């Protein structure tokens, strides 16, 4: 789970070559990034960095306002 500009969010990566951002308050997709290859793995790094695996490589993307939530910060 994550927070984007203070709103609870989930980020998913897929073999359909997309990364999707989901707003948990509205339960709707708020953004989609289309990529050249399937997403193998995905993580939120420090200071609003999205880290993901594409093919044999690792990519980082700046995502201002994005923070990972620790288990104690996650909403019920």
* 73 in any annotated domain: no
* 41 in any annotated domain: yes
Residue 55's domain comprises 2-67
Domain count, the chain: 1
Tens place of pLDDT per residue across the chain (76 aa)? 788 888 888 999 999 999 999 999 999 998 899 999 999 999 988 778 889 999 889 999 888 888 887 665 555 5
* 60 in any annotated domain: yes
pLDDT value of position 55: 85
* 59 in any annotated domain: yes
CATH number at 24 reads: 2.40.10.480
Give the alpha-carbon dihedral of 65, 45, 53, 29, to 10 degrees: -30
Query: Burial of 2 by CB count in 10 Å (0-12 exposed, 13-18 middle, 19+ buried)?
Result: buried
* 61 in any annotated domain: yes
């Amino acid at each position: 789970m994550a927070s984007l500009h203070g709103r609870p969010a989930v980020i998913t990566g897929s073999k359909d070559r997309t990364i999707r951002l989901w707003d948990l308050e509205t339960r709707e997709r708020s953004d989609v990034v289309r990529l050249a290859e399937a997403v193998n793995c995905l993580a939120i790094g420090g200071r609003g960095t999205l880290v993901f695996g594409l093919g044999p490589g690792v990519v980082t993307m700046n995502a201002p306002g994005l923070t990972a939530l620790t288990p104690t910060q996650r909403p019920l």
